[in-house]
Structure 1
Amino acid sequence: MTDHTTWAKPSRRHLLHAGAALAAAASLPLSSHAQASPDLRKVTLRVGDQTGASQGLLRAAGLLDDVPYRIEWSNYAAAVNLHEALKADATDIGSANDSPTVSAIAGGSRILAVASWTNGGRGTSLLVRKNSDIKSVVDLRGKTISPTTRGSVAHFTTVGVLKEAGIPLDDVKLAFLSPTDASAAFGSGSIDAWAIWGIFRARTVGALGARVLHDGVGINSGQSVLSATRSAVADPGKRAAIAHYAQLTDKAYAWARANPDAYIAWYAAFSKQDKSVVASLHEENSAYKRVPVDDTFVARLQRTHAVWLETGVLRGPIDFNQYVYRDLPIASVA
């Protein structure tokens, strides 16, 4: 249950002070014995969660039973909503694909990417109804596609799929809709195809028998980015809690890989779909492995940004080195 505590949005002066504190903290050896370890019992970490999936996985893996700090969860339907909360300082951290993360930064969000995982590009698919006359991507000319929300990973998938097939964006109609509205439009037949992820995809395949026209592999990065507010990273206690939370996420994915039956049982209950439907998603959902927040990671953000520039979704250059925190410490997890 979310605690709706009101938090004051930091002023520009406070953000500058926070940035200075962050720079000072980053220059110190994180394992230095001279530094007093923060008392995590006094820390509340506000975690933004898409559809409740992160909390659900951590709980299924038994990783929330003895967390040394308090977690205040808030659920959001999609990455765009999560990033709005981060921009407004309504939550401290949250995970989303690199596509909406880049879009959020371009939209003025001062977040810092602090950790990342990749599953090799799986997780977002372009769907058509089971009886659709669309048999391949080339049949999408003249059709209406919902890429879900603008700047999302599903939008990125749609652009990439069309480009791969040599179909100009002008040859299709894009209908940007929230996941809930897109689901209703897909079910009623008012859109011909829908690019979507996660629980929404599982429910659509399970309930409607939707066909996967393209699974996004070779187009998407499959990158899950944990972003944080600068004020949270500048706070020693919250920074330590974020490091701990990131390692819990590592352990949750490892648990999912090692315990496929338990994972499938949890995800079937979570998504309200038969085990036979979610079993096919186990491999891609559990394949996420930690990657460094380094020059290669920054280059990935730049490539995603280049696609958005090419398609006219975003404008202007961005130095993504200014939006990453490379020194998140590895916390020990009991």
Structure 2
Amino acid sequence: MTRSPRALSGPRSGSGPGPRSGARALAAALALSVLALVTAGCGTQDDGGASGPAAAASDVTLTLGDQAKNLQTLANASDAFKGAPYQVKWAEFEGAAPLFQAAQAGAADTTYAADLPTLQALSGGVPIKTVAALRNDGTAVGIVVQKNSEVRKVADLKGRTVVVSSAKGSISEYLLANALQQAGLSYSDVKVKYLLPTDAQAAFSAGKIDTWAIFGVYKAVATQQGGRELVNGADGRVSGYGFIGATDKALADRAKKPALADAVKRLGTALEWARSHPDAYGAAIRKNNGASAEVAKTIVGQSYGELVPITPEVTQAVQKVADTMHGIKVLDPNVTVADCVDTSLHAK
């Protein structure tokens, strides 16, 4: 059985993105302040073992963190949680920063984000562990410019302002940093401005932003509305990995931990369903997220394709992201990725 918490979920999407609202109609509209990152490290977990007496599975409620209804739409369309012996609630946010803030505050048991936002949270001491990896081809992340922009290649960005969503330390920022490096530029060669996706979408649609580093549904809407993709995250420009995380508190709860393991397994099955049912998945995105058929098709093609264990190959690829962003002082202190993993929920 699933249900959405009124205090955490945003309003229902409309019939589709308008010229000003863009992705606002596609995302949860809960705008919280950017995550306050204070303590270094990967969070802490009590070595004394799981806390509290074991409860019946039917008494357990998992609050699953999500962005722009991505996981919720997938789970509902695939019936992923049908027959689950525990209750599921969804905590919906428009970006990773407020989602990690919710996890920090105990308002979400799990997180769902790309590699760099997860690293940023870990660097700031948010008490989570990564428990499973998500993999795609990187094309869901991109730098988009206005149709008639003078910017034709990444090198043309020198001296210009680039809007990055959703906040400092997003996957969009890593793409920008890596693309600039590949073009022979330094990060200081551009001026970076941070805006939450819905605010940036409205500004981009109104022509007030020329260059926007963005991801997912927001990128799909921007290109549908006439934006031109300058570069995307394919060919190693991003790692292609995202993470499902779980809070230390939830992992230490002896009743919740088996439910978390089951939920991760079900999300993996849901992704398998999406790969084999692209038309049904696209229809669900159109219905639940208010996307047009074209945007839904793009999202299906660029979504995370599978859920995989966090292996040394995964941690090494994401460590490169951490080291790059630490080098330009976006990620400080740095993170040792392998030290922030809990493989007990999802292993080979």
Q: Is TM > 0.5 for Structure 1 vs Structure 2?
A: yes
Q: Is the 8 A contact 1:94 1:227 kept in 2?
A: yes
Hey, what's the Cα distance between the residues in 2 that align with 1:37 and 1:266?
Answer: 36
1:272 corresponds, among 278, 290, 304, to 290
CA separation of 1:3/1:272 partners in 2, compared to 1, >3 Å: closer, same or farther? closer
Hey, what's the Cα distance between the residues in 2 that align with 1:316 and 1:246?
Answer: 29
Matched, 1:311 2:323: no
Corresponding residue for residue 175 of structure 1: 193
Q: Which runs of 5+ in 2 are unaligned?
A: 9-42
Hey, what's the Cα distance between the residues in 1 that align with 2:324 and 2:215?
Answer: 20
Q: Is the 8 A contact 2:275 2:305 kept in 1?
A: no
Letter in 2 for 1:269: K
Letter in 2 for 1:2: P
Hey, what's the Cα distance between the residues in 1 that align with 2:318 and 2:345?
Answer: 18
Matched, 1:21 2:49: yes
1:134-175 residue CA offsets vs partner (Å, 9 max, x unmatched): 222222222211111110111111111111111222222111
After TM superposition, the score normalised by the length of structure 1 is 0.85
Corresponding residue for residue 242 of structure 2: 224
Query: Residues 1-334 of structure 1: matches in 2 within 5 Å?
Result: 1-2=4-5, 4=7, 18-21=46-49, 39-148=56-165, 149-206=167-224, 208-217=225-234, 218-285=236-303, 287-328=304-345
- Residues 92-101 or 121-130, more deviating: 121-130
Hey, what's the Cα distance between the residues in 1 that align with 2:312 and 2:55?
Answer: 30
Hey, what's the Cα distance between the residues in 2 that align with 1:45 and 1:21?
Answer: 20
Corresponding residue for residue 33 of structure 2: none
Hey, what's the Cα distance between the residues in 2 that align with 1:128 and 1:315?
Answer: 29
CA separation of 1:75/1:17 partners in 2, compared to 1, >3 Å: closer, same or farther? closer
Of Structure 1 and Structure 2, the greater helix share is in: 1
Hey, what's the Cα distance between the residues in 2 that align with 1:91 and 1:277?
Answer: 29
Hey, what's the Cα distance between the residues in 2 that align with 1:99 and 1:181?
Answer: 21
Hey, what's the Cα distance between the residues in 2 that align with 1:256 and 1:200?
Answer: 20
Residue 19 of structure 1 deviates from its aligned partner by 3.6
Hey, what's the Cα distance between the residues in 2 that align with 1:328 and 1:249?
Answer: 12
Partner of 1:126: helix, strand, or coil? strand
Q: Is the 8 A contact 1:124 1:216 kept in 2?
A: yes
Partner of 2:49: helix, strand, or coil? helix
After TM superposition, the score normalised by the length of structure 2 is 0.81
1:8-65 residue CA offsets vs partner (Å, 9 max, x unmatched): xxxxxxx97734315x9xxxxxxxxxxx996321111111111222111110112233
Letter in 1 for 2:46: A
Partner of 2:127: helix, strand, or coil? coil
- Residues 160-169 or 185-194, more deviating: 185-194
CA separation of 1:68/1:195 partners in 2, compared to 1, >3 Å: closer, same or farther? same
Corresponding residue for residue 30 of structure 2: none
1:279-324 residue CA offsets vs partner (Å, 9 max, x unmatched): 2332221x52222223333323322210111111123343333321
* Displacement over 4 Å in runs of 4+: none
Of structures 1 and 2, the larger Rg is shown by 1
Q: Which runs of 5+ in 1 are unaligned?
A: 6-14, 25-35
Hey, what's the Cα distance between the residues in 2 that align with 1:271 and 1:137?
Answer: 32
Partner of 1:146: helix, strand, or coil? strand
Corresponding residue for residue 23 of structure 2: none
